[in-house]
Amino acid sequence: MRRALSLALIACLTAGSAYGAADVGPGTAPRMDFTPLRAGTYQLQSIQPVGEATLLDEHGKPVKLSGLTRGKITLLTFFYTYCVDPLGCPFVHETLTQLRDRVIAEQGLARDVRFVGISCDPSNDTPAVLSQFATSFQSRSPFEWRFLTAPAVPTLLPVLDDFGQDVSVETDEHGRPTRTLHHMLKVFLIDAGGTVREIYTLAFIQPDVMMNDIRTLHLEQTAKASLVRR
Amino acid sequence: MKHPMRFVAVLAGVSVWLGVVPLASADETCNSPYMSNLIKGQEDFVHVWTLGEPGLGDASDKLVTVDANPKSKTYGKVVSSVSVGGRGEAHHMGFTDDRKFLWAGGLDDSKIYVFDVGTDPSKPKLVQTIGDLPAKSGFVGPHTFYALPGRMLIGNLSNAADKGGATGLALYNNKGTLIEKYAMPTATVGGVKGDGYGYDIAVNPAKNVFLTSSFAGHKNYMRELGDLMKDGEAMKNFGSTMVVWNLKSMQPTQVLSVPGAPLEIRWSLAPGQNWAITAAALTSKLWLVKPDAKGTWTAKEVATIGDPSKIPLPVDISITADGKGLWVNTFMDGMTRYFDLSNPEAPKETYSKHTGSQVNMISQSWDGKRLYIISSLLAHWDKKGADNEQKLQAFKWDGHALTSAFEVDFTKEKLGRPHHMKFTAKAGQSLALAAVRE
């Protein structure tokens, strides 16, 4: 039974495409040779709405994804807890930690911003594992940084599909799976209305730009609220 | 890049690795710089976006897939073909950021076809047709498909109102919904007046800029070339500018004067470099685009391609991964030339070969050892009679000479006119199947 379940999970996870001979080579750290535009002087595009899903939080409690992608400006990424790729999940989490500190330091911003991480390995990253993992990202000041997982891979697949988050499996020269999986690093900036407004792939993990994008959305949100009050 | 993936290992009892795909810098060298899965080893397939030819086969535009792996039994053969059910001047295509899908455009009907090349690249499937570009953007002639994270930026050639050269960029999300449109500038920006024309797109994330180039509108590119060249007024209607854009704001910051229809743009992929090169088709010149000491972008003519008085018509370029070499194809004389770009201020032609009666696009593998060339430029611009060769040619390059690897005759195979190429590698087998076998 356990083996059958395992196979089903694997089958689901690998239902997407995969590439065999693609030797992707080493990654390149992002460069930033420019002064970012001042916050509020540009518009962020409305790329796509975030779909609904029910996932599990760090306590194993079912949560609607919309509850964590609406009402605040959200930076959302897919990760797995044991990733050690220096230009992968640890790099993103280090960047997000720095951003969190900058957000906290800016008056009135922290309460309107949250970070969300969704594991792309629900079999390993159980709520208990996430709960332990989350302790590394606690701050002295209140800040909402949540970690989610799925009850099973089939629940995760439509979420990955909706975000356009690729997870694929390599094959060897004979077309056999090498048990090597890849996923493309993406961080999604979502406005308080639940619309993706920017996507940062590795080349765009530029903290100063990301910070100004958060500020830009915050200014937009403040202006809208002001309009409503009038 | 690879990490233990414990959950599968536990479940399947095998060792599994998981990695985040790096977004490396660049046919392979002309793809969007942050697309995933750049093929740095041996490509398995060459996908050829092919114009339908009346009276030939099903006469439809189609995506033809050719086996490009020398170890395969079907090496150099057509392994699949997907017709789109019509003829709309198939032209260029581009991968989505995750390399799972190919977006391919028709310059005449302005339709955009989305092919799934991720599930099984040996048998691409047409999964979506986007037909709202003219109605929603006002632009026609989708040319360049350039992946941005989660989005596709499309450089168009013309407009729906007068079919002239004034056009713009259309930004779609990966689901096929139009997000925004941006007109090419016609005002003076940075001291130079824009002409409103468009063609290629090339992004440099480290500088937060992208460049666009300029060609001609529907009225020109759908006209017989012989007639067009005799029409002095129509010949004035070609682009003569490039535009520097702020990538974040999507606003033009500078217009650069580059006479003679600057076409394909390639950034140097060498680390730390911030220059790009393009070829002007009508003047047969290479132009270098780079910032000066103050950070202002400049465009400078740096080399001549063939004999400009004979209008060789450079139609495509392909830069090496180290930024030190550039292949240039000239359509009219059927020449493939290699320029040493060690000094981008003074490129030098070091090799040339006559590769056909007409040659158009040229693509190289990441390691530069394999080169692919196709023949068709535009249905109404291709040569007539015996000179109308329509083929895909594969070559090996040893640094000194090109030698033929294989050739597919698209007329003999009743396929049509091959125009643009992209590479893929084989799809992975389902892990479940492998586990069952175990």
Q: Which domains does chain A have, with CATH numbers?
A: 48-229 (3.40.30.10)
Query: In the structure, what pLDDT confidence band is assigned to residue B390 with cuts at 50, 70 and 90?
Result: very high
More confident residue, B427 or B185: B185
The tokens of B22 are what?
């790096």
Mean pLDDT of B317-340: 96
The hierarchical CATH code for the domain B3-437 is 2.130.10.10
Q: What pLDDT does A212 receive? A: 98
Task: Evaluate if residue A7 carries a pLDDT over 70.
Answer: no
The full set of domain ranges for chain B reads 3-437
DSSP-derived 3-state class of residue B395: strand
Q: Of A9, A17, A34, which has the smallest distance from its Cβ to B208's Cβ?
A: A34
Query: In chain B, which residues have their Cβ closer than 8 Å to the Cβ of A125?
Result: 7
Q: Give the other-Cβ count within 10 Å of A35's Cβ.
A: 9
B119 contact residues in A (CB cutoff 8 A): 16-17
Per-residue pLDDT, averaged over B376-396, amounts to 97
Give me the amino acid identity at A17: S
Distance of CA B433 to the CA centre of its chain: 36
In the predicted structure, residue B269 carries a pLDDT above the cut 90: no
- The answer on pLDDT for B6 being more than 50 is no
Q: What per-residue confidence (pLDDT) applies to A13? A: 36
Hunting for tokens 């930033």 — which residue is that? A32
Write the pLDDT tens digit of every residue in B165-211.
999 999 999 999 999 999 999 999 999 999 999 999 999 999 999 99
Q: Can you tell me which residue has the tokens 């047709």?
A: B129
Tell me whether residues A199 and B44 touch, CB distance under 8 A. no
Whether residue B132 contacts residue B154, with contact meaning beta carbons closer than 8 Å, is answered with: no
Nearest 5°: CA angle at B104, between B99 and B109? 160
Residue B414, pLDDT above cutoff 80: yes
What average pLDDT does the segment B341-369 reach?
Answer: 97
Residue A118 CA to chain centroid, in angstroms?
6
* SS3 of residue A153 by DSSP: helix
Q: Which of A169-173, B77-81, B126-130 has the lowest mean pLDDT?
A: A169-173
Q: 10 Å Cβ neighbour count for B116?
A: 18
Least confident of A36-45, A148-157, B299-308: A148-157
Stated as kind and residue range, the H or E segment containing A77 is: strand A73-79
The answer to whether residue A38 scores a pLDDT higher than 80 is yes
Per-chain mean pLDDT for chain B: 90
In this predicted structure, the answer to whether residue B23 has a pLDDT above a threshold of 60 is no
State the Cα–Cα distance between residues A199 and B174, nearest whole angstrom: 12
Instruction: Identify the CA nearest to A191 among candidates A222, A160, A153, A229.
Output: A222
pLDDT for A140: 87
Q: Which of residues 107-146 of B touch A (CB under 8 A)?
A: 116, 118-119
CA B147 to CA B100: how far, in whole Å? Answer: 12
Residue A177: its H or E element? strand A177-184
pLDDT band, residue B30 (cuts 50/70/90): low
What would the mean pLDDT of B391-404 be, rounded to a whole number?
Answer: 98
Q: What tokens does B128 get?
A: 């979506």
Min Cα distance B22 → chain A (Å) is 4
Q: Are B41 and A21 in contact (CB under 8 A)?
A: yes
Identify the pLDDT of residue A170.
Answer: 60
Q: Provide mean pLDDT across the span B129-139.
A: 98
CB contact under 8 A, B22 and A22: no
Q: What is the pLDDT of residue B429?
A: 39
Nearest Cα of chain B lies from the Cα of A116 at a distance, in angstroms, of 18
% chain B with pLDDT above 90: 84
Q: What angle do CA A7, A10, A15 make, to 5 degrees?
A: 120
- Name the CA dihedral angle for B217, B220, B221, B225, rounded to a multiple of 10 degrees: -160
B269-273, B342-346, B398-402, B416-420: which has the minimum mean pLDDT? B269-273
Amino acid (one-letter) located at B406: F
ipTM of the complex: 0.89
Residues of B in contact with A83 (CB under 8 A): 3, 18, 20
Using 50, 70 and 90 to split pLDDT, how confident is the model at A183? Answer: confident
For B23-34, what is the mean pLDDT? 45
Q: What's the gap between Cα B156 and its chain centre? A: 13
Question: Nearest Cα to B222, choosing from B59, B94, B109?
Answer: B109
Between A30 and B6, where is the model more confident?
A30
Mean of the per-residue pLDDT values of chain A: 85
Higher pLDDT, residue B41 or B385 = B385
The pTM score is 0.91
**pLDDT band at residue A227, thresholds of 50, 70 and 90?**
confident
One DSSP character per residue, B213-266 reads -----HHHHTS-HHHHHH-HHHHT-S--EEEEEETTTTEEEEEEE--S-EEEEE
For residue B29, what pLDDT is reported?
A: 54
pLDDT at position A154, please?
87
| Residue B356 scores a pLDDT above 90 | yes
| B178 and chain A in contact, CB less than 8 A | no
Order of strands across the sheet with A186-190? Answer: A48-49, A195-201, A186-190, A73-79, A113-119, A144-148
pLDDT higher for A83 or A211?
A: A211
